[in-house]
Amino acid sequence: MRVPKAGAMAVVVGLALTATGCGGDEGPQGTLSIGIKFDEPGVGLREPGGTFTGFDVDVATYIAKELGYKPEQIEFKKVDSSDRELLLQYNEVKFVAASYSINDKRKAKVDFAGPYFTAHQDILVRADDNSITKAEDLNNKRLCSVSGSTSATNVKEKLAPKAGLLELGGNSECIIALQEGSADAMTTDNSILAGYAAQKGNTGKFKLLGLSLSNESYGIGVKKGNKELVEKINAALKKMVADGAWDAAVKKNFGSANYRNEPAPQITTGS
């Protein structure tokens, strides 16, 4: 009876060695949680069927692949502008790819890889509105912006301090407010506004003013202190630009939005 038992053991050990030892392409195990926007067409959008589209989704998926993860290991989690730092601090997500501008206030709480994209703050109005053509025109108008965004801060601090600012949780709420008339304008990055203006069902409804009210350098947010991950993501971003995937993602996601993107920025974070 002893001989077959030992034989069975040998088979089990042999299988275990095969499972971990062969192929050489075993990536990290488990799920990779990535924070993205769920409501920004062209940038980060959860489609009705539960799939995800947008430039940030493509960038995040490319990074995940370079980190060794398979697409089925990715779990996209919804982030809002106001909770991106918290979700990183509490390890809810490994990184954030969510139209996330790099700035000093945020750098005190999280680290950034990148930048990987340059956008500019702009204003969206209803197509038939000719009363708003520049930022100052927003004073005494009702303006919607997202709480926790650089756009809302810029309005309050410099662009139009006398605007009646309606701060909502997400840009999809602002676009409804604009459409329904509870806001006269909305402001955020041109990349995001162009996506709404071009969305099916919205064509002809809105007008993008084409102002360049700020420079928004998008970074990939990671937990503060994780220098190794910043370096790895920077390497992935450089590769994405070099091999043409960055251009392809821009074309695919911003192509129909009548919007001219800036060229890929230099990666400057990390050491």
Closest separation in Å from C-beta 74 to ligand GLU: 20
Beta pairing class for 74-78 and 32-36: parallel
Name the token pair of 196: 């709404």
Least distance to ligand GLU, CB of residue 84, Å: 8
| DSSP character string of 103-124 | -HHHHTTEEEEEEEEEE-EEEE
Q: Which residue is nearest to ligand GLU (CB)?
A: 149
Residue 85 or residue 184: which is nearer to ligand GLU going by CB? 85
Is residue 189 part of the contact set for ligand GLU (CB under 6 A)?
yes
Report d(CA 206, CA 26) in Å as an integer. 49
Site for ligand GLU in 198-227 (CB under 6 A): 216
- Strands 95-96, 39-40: pairing is unpaired
The per-residue DSSP string of 124-180 comes to EEETT--S--SGGGGTTSEEEEETTSHHHHHIIIII-TTSEEEEESSHHHHHHHHHH
CB of 215 to ligand GLU, least distance (A): 10
Residue 73 or 103: the one with the smaller Cβ distance to ligand GLU is 103
Residue 269 backbone dihedrals phi, psi, to 5 degrees? -85, 175
Our finding on whether 190 is near ligand GLU (CB under 6 A) is no
Cα(235)–Cα(228) distance, rounded to whole angstroms? 11
Q: Which CB atom, from 167 or from 216, has the smaller least distance to ligand GLU?
A: 216
Query: Cis peptide leading into 263, omega within 30 of 0?
Result: no
Residue closer to ligand GLU, measured from CB, 188 or 234: 188
Hey, which residues between 125 and 154 contact ligand GLU (CB under 6 A)?
146, 149-151
Structure tokens at 130: 């000719």
Q: Output 150 or 269, the one with its CB closest to ligand GLU.
A: 150
By CB under 6 A, residue 101 contacts ligand GLU: yes
Using the rule CB under 6 A, give the single segment among 92-100, 126-134, 222-230, 245-253 that binds ligand GLU: 92-100
Name the residue nearer to ligand GLU (CB basis): 18 or 215: 215
Please, which residues bridge with residue 113 across strands? 220
**Quick check: 81 binds ligand GLU (CB under 6 A)?**
yes
Confirm or reject binding of residue 188 to ligand GLU (CB under 6 A). yes
Site residues for ligand GLU per CB under 6 A: 81, 98-101, 146, 149-151, 188-189, 216
